[in-house]
Amino acid sequence: TSACLTAIDAADTLNAFVHKTPEVAESQAKSADQRIQAGEAPDLCGIPLGIKDLFCTKGVASQAASRILEGFNPEYESTVTTQLFDAGAVMLGKLNMDEFAMGSSNETSVYGDAVNPWKVDDRQLTPGGSSGGSAAAVAADLCLGATGTDTGGSIRQPAAFTGITGIKPTYGRVSRWGVVAFASSLDQAGPMTKDVRDSAIMLQAMSGFDAKDSTSANIPVPDFEAALTGDIRGKVIGIPKEYRMDGMPAEIEKLWQDGTAMLRDAGAEVRDITLPHTKYALPAYYVIAPAEASSNLARYDGVRFGHRAKLDAGDGITEMYEKTRAEGFGPEVQRRVMVGTYVLSAGFYDAYYNRARRVRALIKRDFDQVFADGVDAILTPATPSAAFGLGEMKNADPIQMYLNDVFTVTVNLAGLPGISVPAGLDAKGLPLGLQLIGRPWEEGDLLNVAYALE
Nearer to ligand GLN by C-beta: 154 or 448? 154
Task: Find all residues with CB under 8 Å of 104, minimum gap 6, and list them.
Answer: 98, 128, 129, 130, 153, 154, 157, 401, 402, 404, 405
Is 106 an interacting residue with respect to ligand GLN (CB under 6 A)? no
Asked whether 19 and 62 are in contact (CB, 8 A), the reply is no
Is 152 an interacting residue with respect to ligand GLN (CB under 6 A)? yes
| Residue 94 annotated among the catalytic residues of the structure | no
Among 4, 18, 69, 102, binds ligand GLN (CB under 6 A): 102
Is 103 an interacting residue with respect to ligand GLN (CB under 6 A)? yes
Type of residue found at 167: I
Is 289 an interacting residue with respect to ligand GLN (CB under 6 A)? yes
Whole-number minimum distance, CB 289 to ligand GLN, in Å?
5
For residues 35 and 56, what is the distance between their CA atoms, to the nearest angstrom? Answer: 25
Which one of the spans 30-38, 59-67, 96-104, 254-262 is the region binding ligand GLN (CB under 6 A)? 96-104
Which one of the spans 136-144, 151-159, 351-359, 382-390 is the region binding ligand GLN (CB under 6 A)? 151-159
Q: Sheet holding 188-193: strands in order across? A: 17-20, 90-95, 48-52, 145-150, 188-193, 165-168, 418-425, 431-438, 377-381, 236-240, 269-273
Among 130, 162, 199, 380, binds ligand GLN (CB under 6 A): 130
| Residue 310 annotated among the catalytic residues of the structure | no
Is 296 an interacting residue with respect to ligand GLN (CB under 6 A)? no
Nearer to ligand GLN by C-beta: 187 or 445? 187
Nearer to ligand GLN by C-beta: 44 or 102? 102
| Residue 27 annotated among the catalytic residues of the structure | no
For residues 198 and 195, what is the distance between their CA atoms, to the nearest angstrom? Answer: 6
Tell me, by CB under 6 A, how many residues bind ligand GLN: 13
Nearer to ligand GLN by C-beta: 83 or 108? 108
Which one of the spans 57-65, 145-153, 212-220, 366-374 is the region binding ligand GLN (CB under 6 A)? 145-153
Is 405 an interacting residue with respect to ligand GLN (CB under 6 A)? yes
Nearer to ligand GLN by C-beta: 103 or 166? 103
Whole-number minimum distance, CB 405 to ligand GLN, in Å?
5
Whole-number minimum distance, CB 418 to ligand GLN, in Å?
11
Is 163 an interacting residue with respect to ligand GLN (CB under 6 A)? no
* Contact string (CB under 6 A) for ligand GLN, positions 327-366, x = contact: ----------------------------------------
Could you tell me the sign of the dihedral formed by the alpha carbons of 436, 119, 151, 381, in that order? negative
Residues that bind ligand GLN (CB under 6 A): 101-104, 130, 150-154, 182, 289, 405
Question: Which residues have a catalytic role annotated?
Answer: 52, 130, 154
